[in-house]
Amino acid sequence: MSIAASRIRQRRRDQERIFQENQSFIDEHDNTQRRHEWEHRSSLQTEQREVETITERLLQQEEEELLRRKQELQTIYNDEMSQWKETLRSSLEVSQEQRMEQIRSRAYELKCSREAER
């Protein structure tokens, strides 16, 4: 075998080694890229879950606050309605003396208005 043939074989081996190294680098790079993309997607999903959890918690707090305020308003409304009904009931419950006084007062007003017409 000649020196030229041995150099050709050595060059071919060197080229195959370089090709294998390049292929190995490309494969490793692809794996690294896929791992990076997976980590990025996982990170985004985790962040999205955290945002959703916080949003749900805040919405729940707002709902609870709204319910509490509705209950307070209902209590205030019921109290005011009770007071109004009591006031109405007390104004309708006129004693016999008050009723007589109202009739006398009305009679006096009518008498004055008749005299004024003459």
Does pTM surpass 0.75?
Answer: no
Predicted confidence band of residue 60 (pLDDT cuts 50, 70, 90): very high
Q: Which domain holds residue 51?
A: 3-93
- What confidence score (pLDDT) does residue 3 get? 85
User: Higher-confidence residue: 97 or 74?
Assistant: 74
The answer to whether 94 and 102 have CB atoms below 8 angstroms apart is yes
Check: CB of residue 98 under 8 Å from CB of residue 90.
Answer: no
Distance CA 104, CA 96 (A): 12
Number of structural domains in the chain: 1
